[in-house]
Amino acid sequence: MANPETLDKLTISQSNRWYHWRTDNFPIPRRDIETNSANMHFIPGNSAVEEKLKSIQSGDTVKLIGYLVHIDGDNGWTWTSSMTREDTGGDSCEVILLEDIKTI
């Protein structure tokens, strides 16, 4: 998915917390796109990680270091990370507590 030739053939967008992609000509198999791209929600573990997260630019390749998490709100609200890359659609996003970000 990080290959520029692959990315150039995809239109990727996000709206209302939903991740969308589309293509007219699949550069790789559809299932590879579905299982190697995701809508991820990040919780910075500290202010240094938050600054690294804010500094990421389009086209950067990064390594994310952290944990998938489940969140319980005081009012009974919950948010659970997907635990597999095989799912798609609603409830398939990852919620990640980030410990570090490294630019590759």
At 26-61, the pLDDT tens digits run 999 999 999 999 999 999 999 999 999 999 998 899
State the total domains in the chain.
Answer: 2
| 62 and 104 both lie in a single domain | yes
Q: State the residue for tokens 């950067």.
A: 60
d(CA 73, CA 52): 26
Domain that holds residue 33: 1-37
| 20 and 70 both lie in a single domain | no
76 backbone φψ class: left, alpha, beta (φ>0; ψ -120 to 50)? left
pTM of the complete model: 0.82
Cα dihedral across residues 18, 23, 24, 30: positive or negative: negative
Q: Name the H helices within 1-104.
A: 4-7, 30-35, 47-55
| 48 and 7 both lie in a single domain | no
Angle at 64 between CA 71 and CA 98, to 5 degrees: 35
Query: How confident is the prediction for the chain on average, in pLDDT?
Result: 93
